Structure formats: C-alpha cells, structure tokens
Amino acid sequence: MKAVYLLPCSCGKKVPVDAGQAGAQVSCECGQQLKVPTFRALKDLEQETSVAAVAIGGAKSDWNAVRGIMFSFGLLISLIATVLICYHLYTYWLMWDGGEAWKQEHLEIMREGVDYLAPADALAEFQDMATKGLTVDGVPPWSQVAGVRDSSRRWLLGALVALGVGLVSLTASLIGAGRSKAK
Ligand SMILES: [Zn+2]
C-alpha cells in the first residue's frame, strides 16, 4: 500500500500526496499551486493513517457537491414558484372580480328577456341558464372565466408545492453547510 502524506496549504487544508509526486506541483482545493517536497522531506510530513480517512474525505467533497446542487435547485425552484404564484394570484384575483361582474351583467340581460315569458316558464328557463350556463351564443363568459380561474388555482397549488420543495431543499443545503462549518 502506498503511503499518503498530507501537504499543508496556507488556507488550512491538507492536500494528500504520495511519494510518486515528490518534487512535483499539486493544486489545492483553494486554487493554490503547492510544491511537493522532495522524497526525503516528504517523510517528515504528516501521514494519512488509513484508507478510511481518504474515503471520509472523498465522501465529504461529494456531500459538498450534493449540497451545491441542492442549493441551486432549491433556489431555482423557489424563484420560478414565486413568479408563478405572483402571476397566478394576480390572474385569480382579476378573474374572480371580472367573473362576478360579467356574470351579473349577463344575468341582468337574461332577466330582461325573461320578462316576456310566462312566470313559470321564465323561472324554468332562467334556472336552466343559470345552472347549465347555456346561452344562445354558446359558452357564457363566466364559464370561461371560471375555467381560467380554476386553472390558475391549480397552477397556484402546484407552485406552492414547488415553493415548499424548493425551500426545503434550500434549508437542507444551508443546515448541512452550517453543520460542516461548526465541526
Ligand atoms: Zn489551499
């Protein structure tokens, strides 16, 4: 088994090197170029004691990458979700208002038409229109509004879930970073 030595960098990290790299240059995670001592001087350096230690080091840097991805993913999802929530909240609000106004206006027109019919027929006709939403010119405007409103509501729910996922991902990556700094 090859002996692994730990070459200290001014940033505080230790770069693992082996005898084969004696006299060569290695780069630290911080970007600094470090000169590996000669074979003789290398033996004075701290030595990596076990394979497990190397494995832990590897796992740590993997975990950093995972956290980075989680952070970026969380941030991206949260931003997209926030934009969607703002947009659909606005649409929902607009449609809610517009829908009611349109509906009232249309019902008023219908009531005027209803006046020409016999009371019983008029009531039946009116109820039929109001419940089924059938008018002479096809789909009543408030049905369309309701459709848009419902789709906005679905978008809102989806975006809220996405925001939750994004925030959890962000929080998890930040908690992980805090913990590793504390160590
Ligand atoms: Zn360094």
The residue segments making up the domain with residue 133 are: 63-182
In a domain, 178, yes or no: yes
Half-sphere exposure of 16 (CA within 13 A, CB side): 14
Report how far residue 116's alpha carbon sits from residue 6's, in angstroms, rounded to the nearest whole number.
Answer: 97
Query: Per-residue pLDDT tens for 78-115?
Result: 999 999 999 888 877 777 666 666 567 667 777 776 55
Task: Kindly state whether residue 58 falls inside one of the protein's structural domains.
Answer: no
Q: Same domain for 45 and 69?
A: no
CA of 26 to the centre of ligand 1 (A): 10
- pLDDT tens, residue by residue, 7-60: 999 999 999 998 889 999 999 999 999 999 998 888 888 888 755 445 545 555
CA of 8 to the centre of ligand 1 (A): 8
Judgement on whether residues 21 and 81 belong to the same structural domain of the protein: no
Specify if 54 maps to a domain.
Answer: no
Same domain, 34 and 96: no
**Ligand 1 midpoint to CA 54 (Å):** 17
Rg (CA), the chain: 34
- The rounded Å distance from CA 87 to ligand 1 centre is 46
CA dist 93 and 102 (Å) reads 14
Report the separation in Å between the CA atom of 115 and the middle of ligand 1, taken as the mean of its atom positions. Answer: 88
Residue 56 maps to a domain: no
